[in-house]
Structure 1
């Protein structure tokens, strides 16, 4: 049974800390200030011999439906509706507040099995607050300290009592899971308010992620599975990245750090730009960062439906090659996350970029090209001495990485390396993907002779 459990409760009661404890690593952002979590975040949790999907949610607050807090509340209610069981968390040191009782009614009306958790119960300070929990009518509270890992055994017993969960025992199912092809990991990055969450929602066909006119709504990097024309993806919606000099809040620094982590573990990165303000300095910095991390890159020109000159799409190819020469030929797609225009082209570009990123070239093909290229444009002499480039081989893919064996590797100019990389893009159809060239000196067989 694949059990889904939603963690709910007021802001700052330790929901994200419990989420991180159950998934076994620091996935959700955690801070002392309330309201850090805004979107639903899913992870694979484990408690003893039980495996389940655990969902971290925003803190429950009463608010107008159209406000940011109201939209966060609707996301949490959606998580309750999708869950098989609920962990209702309250702060045992603070004790019950009127809001706890209001939202306990919401949980009770859902009809889902509930485990009541009195968090922050380490020491004697939380005992009185834990006793108040009986007034909620949700059963016996589990005294827990998510930060210190105390009380997890009691939580395990409570979960087994309220839900029909069993340890996984079907070996054939486990083997099938291992044989499933790994999805393409895609990170959607860009400046704040570029439309990243709107794009992912449109691809999913549901309001899975929190959106709105306010800049910087997304904080955690949220991963959501997606299937398009039979191909599986894992999309990561990320926080907007502003210039480093403008980031002064601790939470924004944590959110950007989470975005950088998503880039490092992605296969393909979509850099989303606002068509009305394309190729800003920060856009170029983000694209350059993706190239330096060696990820496959796709440029999404979002909000194209709002652009006055709809015929400007023909100029995009020229512009992106001018501003990003280090990834010449990178795919660029004019699209709109709001209306869905161009999303098929965007997804096709992601698959093509992933294929190129994984491409391998045989050593014989490489060396035939290498000899012709050097013959037509030999490397320059340095200090009056000729440089000799012997042969080339591909060390790995993801991204395509090549090793050139030569004499005096440190003397080969960077301009000549760029020339070789650009010629390689043309010869082997590697547009837009990062190319790594490493120069290595051959061992001198006479070096040890007197």
Structure 2
């Protein structure tokens, strides 16, 4: 079982992350720095990955022989023994001198390092996360250990370091051979379990007229057209105000966790009453988590005047959820099997878009054309300059544009840029991420 060490300076949230991954409050957590002194080990789990994980004392500069120096030795020993090191910084505080110093120590170790920018919720956290590029430890993963955000990206980063169960299965869990992870979510009684049974071809899930039969998120390994699929049926998600029962709260948390670990999420709607407020809340959650998104209009066998209904639903989708404009919407019936194959084709297409990368050259040709046709508006008589663009990652497509005074860009212009990316590079429905940065040298006019 792989050994993962969580390291970083004091008070960056290492113990909170440790507790999140072991699923228990094993490590003491407090706002005061230096609570953790000894290495604490537990068995962690992230999706279908299991591992030993070690929480360590915060790395500090200290005199030889002192308590802090002995604590640091314990941490250095954990780094030496680890198969993977999670180097954690506080995104809200940005990169500190201690972070830079200890990044050099971690870089010299033989173990692979994954850089985590913790406490990355909110604008301040996201900005600090981008500063972490300067540490030279690869792309930082923005996470929030306290809120459980960003764990899907951590799963993807960890997966290559896990041994496969047998030689026959080599390379099947990563890369092109990995199972496609699909979560089916929606309001209670939208027909999720009936759809899952229809997809896998057996009565795998309990179904019935009562809402809320499914409580746990159930994972089913399956194959579609030769492609391995891990299908997750989830509990129905009601409005938060109506979730009172403790068991239902656990079921909802489990469903939300399934969204975080999915690659594609099918939001299943009841075609007779689609796009209620809760449907929109669920879709917005999926988009904020950055998952690929497909809408399934279930119970289509009960709909009359289907052409008019589809036109009406398509217009409603683009109007109510502009952040996933162009997302695929498939009419289907889990009861009769109509449209189920089209749904899986849409899922595969959405997954391809979600993984799409655009070359830097193509991006900058696009940006040059945008600036010629529609330059950013001047603010207080001063021009906003956008210099160059790049795509540091996919899953979902994530773009960074460098320039000056970018914090003053109006929201309308940012939406214009996102829509331009979506249309130019054929990314319908993708939850595109776009952020802006100022070059390190404010006098740099290159690019």
TM-score range, shorter chain: 0.5 to 0.7
Alpha carbons of structure 1 residues 379 and 230: separation in structure 2 relative to 1, 3 Å: same
In the alignment, what sits opposite 2:371?
374
Tell me the CA shift for residue 317 of structure 1.
Answer: 2.3
In the alignment, what sits opposite 1:114?
none
Alpha carbons of structure 1 residues 286 and 44: separation in structure 2 relative to 1, 3 Å: closer
Structure 1 SS opposite 2:401: strand
Q: d(CA) in 1 for partners of 2:379 and 2:225?
A: 54
Q: Does 1:341 find its partner at 2:333?
A: no
Alpha carbons of structure 1 residues 434 and 446: separation in structure 2 relative to 1, 3 Å: closer
Alpha carbons of structure 1 residues 193 and 429: separation in structure 2 relative to 1, 3 Å: same
Q: Which of 297, 302, 310 is residue 313 of structure 1 equivalent to? A: 310
In the alignment, what sits opposite 2:221?
225
Tell me the CA shift for residue 225 of structure 1.
Answer: 1.1
In the alignment, what sits opposite 2:201?
205
Spell out the pairing of 1:175-254 with structure 2 (5 A cutoff): 175-180=167-172, 181-254=177-250
Tell me the CA shift for residue 226 of structure 1.
Answer: 1.4
Q: Does 1:419 find its partner at 2:412?
A: no
Q: Does 1:396 find its partner at 2:388?
A: no
Q: Does 1:268 find its partner at 2:260?
A: no
Q: Does 1:434 find its partner at 2:431?
A: yes
Alpha carbons of structure 1 residues 319 and 446: separation in structure 2 relative to 1, 3 Å: closer
After superposition, the C-alpha distances for 1:148-193 in whole angstroms (9 at most, x for unaligned) are xxxxxxxxxxxxxxxxxxxxxxx99712223221111000000000
| Larger Rg belongs to | 1
Structure 2 SS opposite 1:336: coil
Q: d(CA) in 2 for partners of 1:430 and 1:354?
A: 11
Q: d(CA) in 2 for partners of 1:44 and 1:388?
A: 45
Q: d(CA) in 2 for partners of 1:44 and 1:442?
A: 40
Calculate the TM-score normalised by the size of structure 1. 0.61
Q: d(CA) in 1 for partners of 2:374 and 2:207?
A: 53
Query: Aligned pair count?
Result: 285
Q: Does 1:323 find its partner at 2:313?
A: no
Extract unaligned runs of 5+ from structure 1. 1-23, 28-42, 47-170
- When the two chains are superposed, the root-mean-square deviation of aligned CA atoms in Å is 2.2
Q: d(CA) in 2 for partners of 1:173 and 1:411?
A: 52
Q: d(CA) in 1 for partners of 2:306 and 2:384?
A: 50
Alpha carbons of structure 1 residues 172 and 395: separation in structure 2 relative to 1, 3 Å: closer
After superposition, the C-alpha distances for 1:18-38 in whole angstroms (9 at most, x for unaligned) are xxxxxx9769xxxxxxxxxxx
Q: Which of 278, 289, 310 is residue 282 of structure 1 equivalent to? A: 278
After superposition, the C-alpha distances for 1:198-229 in whole angstroms (9 at most, x for unaligned) are 00000011100011111000000000011111
Q: d(CA) in 2 for partners of 1:288 and 1:370?
A: 28
Tell me the CA shift for residue 394 of structure 1.
Answer: 0.4
Structure 1 SS opposite 2:267: strand
Q: Which of 262, 287, 293 is residue 289 of structure 2 equivalent to? A: 293
Q: d(CA) in 1 for partners of 2:229 and 2:435?
A: 32
Tell me the CA shift for residue 314 of structure 1.
Answer: 3.5
Extract unaligned runs of 5+ from structure 2. 1-20, 25-46, 51-162
After superposition, the C-alpha distances for 1:383-427 in whole angstroms (9 at most, x for unaligned) are 111100000000100000001001022111221111000011110
Alpha carbons of structure 1 residues 172 and 202: separation in structure 2 relative to 1, 3 Å: closer
Structure 1 SS opposite 2:219: strand
In the alignment, what sits opposite 1:100?
none
Q: d(CA) in 1 for partners of 2:361 and 2:268?
A: 39
Spell out the pairing of 1:32-71 with structure 2 (5 A cutoff): none
Q: Does 1:258 find its partner at 2:254?
A: yes
Q: d(CA) in 2 for partners of 1:214 and 1:26?
A: 31
Q: d(CA) in 1 for partners of 2:437 and 2:48?
A: 43
Q: Does 1:302 find its partner at 2:298?
A: yes
Q: d(CA) in 2 for partners of 1:287 and 1:304?
A: 20
Alpha carbons of structure 1 residues 282 and 393: separation in structure 2 relative to 1, 3 Å: same
Q: Which runs of 4+ in 1 moved over 4 A?
A: 24-27, 43-46
Alpha carbons of structure 1 residues 191 and 44: separation in structure 2 relative to 1, 3 Å: closer
Q: d(CA) in 2 for partners of 1:213 and 1:401?
A: 42
Tell me the CA shift for residue 446 of structure 1.
Answer: 5.1
Higher RCO, 1 vs 2 (CA within 8 Å, ≥6 residues apart) = 1
Calculate the TM-score normalised by the size of structure 2. 0.61
In the alignment, what sits opposite 2:166?
174
Q: d(CA) in 1 for partners of 2:419 and 2:229?
A: 30
